[in-house]
Amino acid sequence: MAPSEKNEIENFIRLLSKLPGLGPRSGRRAALEIIKRKDQLLTPLRESFIEISEKIIVCENCNNIDVISPCSICTDVRRDESIICVVEEVSDLWAIERSGAVKGYYHILGGVLNALDGIGPDQLHINNLNKRIKENQVSEVILALSATIDGQTTMHYLSDLLQNDKIRISKLAHGIPVGGELDYLDDGTLMQAIVSRTNTD
């Protein structure tokens, strides 16, 4: 089979294959499933895509995505205004929200520093983070960034930048995942866990 590039089904597969976690093979399977289940999947997906593309906006305050700006997190008055949790992407905000561990507000950087890719401080949402901290009663900034080299570089950059007497700057602990067995850990995680060991109660 040599489908032409203009074939609608091939085009649909090509687009689906670009999604994270899907390659051409999974893209084909997903496309077929969607096409076969017109009422349950195809039509609702079509409506959802239209809605999403028309309504989603970026929060002017924290750079989260929502249908309102400021977003539903920034406008939630039950949160603790003394805490701002800084994350790389919206997916990180979602993960932390699922954990329920942070009761404060968020700030999405939109990435991390990476000299090779040309991502400097100006490419990230750092200016408005500084502004938010100065204009609000913030007493703690949690730098919830990845344990990658770029994530850690960004963390050091931000902790130097935001350093002042009134603010506690914290970072996530790295170590053994809950339920994790030692011999399954990679060397870096195990080393971090040993380096950041704490006293037993």
> Minimum Å distance from CB 67 to Zn ion?
12
Q: Which is nearer to Zn ion, 64 or 154 (CB)?
A: 64
Q: Which is nearer to Zn ion, 43 or 130 (CB)?
A: 130
Q: Which is nearer to Zn ion, 13 or 84 (CB)?
A: 84
Q: How many Å apart are CA 51 and CA 36, to the nearest integer? A: 23
Q: Binding of Zn ion at residue 85 (CB under 5 A)?
A: no
Say if residues 106 and 62 touch (Cβ distance below 8 Å). yes
Q: Which is nearer to Zn ion, 75 or 196 (CB)?
A: 75
**Binder of Zn ion out of 16, 31, 64, 85 (CB under 5 A):** 64
Helix (H, G, I), strand (E, B) or coil at 84: strand
Contacts of Zn ion in 108-127 (CB under 5 A): none
How many distinct helices (H) and strands (E) make up the chain? 7, 6
Q: Binding of Zn ion at residue 129 (CB under 5 A)?
A: no
CB atoms within 10 A of CB 131: 11
Q: Which is nearer to Zn ion, 74 or 162 (CB)?
A: 74
Q: How many residues at the interface with Zn ion, by CB under 5 A?
A: 7
Structure tokens at 4: 């032409």
DSSP result, 119-187: B-GGGTT-HHHHHHHHHTT--EEEE---SSHHHHHHHHHHHHHH--TT-EEEE----PPTT--GGGS-H
> Minimum Å distance from CB 135 to Zn ion?
14
Helix (H, G, I), strand (E, B) or coil at 71: coil
Q: Binding of Zn ion at residue 74 (CB under 5 A)?
A: yes
Residue 6 buriedness (CB in 10 A; 0-12 / 13-18 / 19+): exposed
Binding mask 24-63 for Zn ion (x = CB under 5 A): -----------------------------------x-xx-
What residues make contact with Zn ion under the rule CB under 5 A? 59, 61-62, 64, 70-71, 74
